[in-house]
Structure formats: C-alpha cells, structure tokens
C-alpha cells in the first residue's frame, strides 16, 4: 500500500530544508526523492514505485 501526504513547503520550512525542496512539486518516497516537477502520470507512477519498491521494479 502507498499513502501520501501533501505539505505546503512555505508553511513547513523545516521540511523544505530537510528534503531540499527548491521547486514544486517534489515527490518523496521512503525519504528519497522520487519525482521532480510535473510529468506524465505513467512516468510519475514508475518513478515513485522504483523508489518505494526498488527490488520489484
């Protein structure tokens, strides 16, 4: 199962610093950057799954 939370970087600057957010959207999975910026849905899904489940992709 994959769950997600959206965080407004300007409201939580400590998280923006921790995860080195310099542009949005930035998607993190398991503490690692999975996707930067806008991208097609299939590319986004593949990027997130590759980080979330690296041994399965």
Rg of the chain's alpha carbons, rounded to an integer?
12
pLDDT tens track for 22-36:
877 888 888 888 888
**pTM for the complete prediction?**
0.68
Residue 41 has pLDDT above 90, yes or no: yes
Report the C-alpha gap between 56 and 16 in whole angstroms: 29
């Amino acid at each position: 199962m994959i769950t997600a939370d959206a965080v407004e970087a300007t409201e939580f600057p400590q998280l923006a610093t921790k995860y080195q957010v310099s542009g949005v959207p930035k998607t993190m999975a398991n503490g690692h950057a999975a996707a930067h910026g806008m991208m097609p849905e299939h590319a986004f899904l593949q990027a997130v799954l590759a980080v979330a489940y690296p041994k399965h992709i």
